[in-house]
Amino acid sequence: MSEFEAEVKKAEKELEQSLVPVVPEGKLDDEFLGDLKMQAQEYGTKFQDAADKAKVYAEEKLAWAGDKFNELKDKDPKELVEDAKEFARQKPGQTILISAAIGLVIGFLLRRK
């Protein structure tokens, strides 16, 4: 037998030894299922927490949007135009980005039809 074949045999024996269960089979299954149940409960809790946080965030943003809508509803259209011009003077880069984003959205909406 060559040196290579001897190393292969040695590696196979080590692999077989590492695959032998340390715990009796019935107990291993119970522990494995218990671990899975515990992880499932943990992930369920994390998912519920994330959903609760998302709900609170959405409620806050919806309330903010409603407030802004009411502010805009009460303003005169000329006043809105003046506010937009003032914003564009103060933040020209942001105005360009907003305009480009609105243009893309409108373009996608018109392209669908």
Task: Supply the DSSP string of 34-95, one letter for each residue.
Answer: HHHHHHHHHHHHHHHHHHHHHHHHHHHHHHHHHHHHHHHHHS-HHHHHHHHHHHHHH-HHHH
68 with 98, same domain: the answer is no
Residue 83 within any structural domain of the chain: yes
| Amino acid 34: pLDDT | 77
Residue 1 within any structural domain of the chain: no
Model confidence over 77-98: pLDDT tens digits? 888 889 889 999 999 999 999 9
- For the chain, the straight-line distance linking the first and the last C-alpha, in angstroms and rounded, comes to 75
pLDDT tier at 9, thresholds 50, 70, 90: confident
63 with 82, same domain: the answer is no
Buried b or exposed e, range 5-31, using 16+ CB within 10 angstroms: eeeeeeeeeeeeeeeeeeeeeeeeeee
61 with 88, same domain: the answer is no
Residue 6 within any structural domain of the chain: no
State which residues form the domain around 36. Answer: 24-74
**Contacts for 83 with CB less than 8 Å, ≥ 6 apart:** 75
| Amino acid 18: pLDDT | 66
Residue 7 within any structural domain of the chain: no
Instruction: Tell me the C-alpha distance between 52 and 32, whole Å.
Output: 30
59 with 38, same domain: the answer is yes
| pTM beyond cutoff 0.85 | no
**How many domains, the chain?**
2
Residue 39 within any structural domain of the chain: yes
30 with 70, same domain: the answer is yes
31 with 70, same domain: the answer is yes
Handedness of CA 16, 22, 24, 25 (dihedral sign): negative
34 with 54, same domain: the answer is yes
Model confidence over 17-74: pLDDT tens digits? 766 555 555 555 567 777 888 888 888 889 999 999 999 999 999 999 988 888 888 8
Residue 2 within any structural domain of the chain: no
Instruction: Tell me the C-alpha distance between 113 and 53, whole Å.
Output: 37
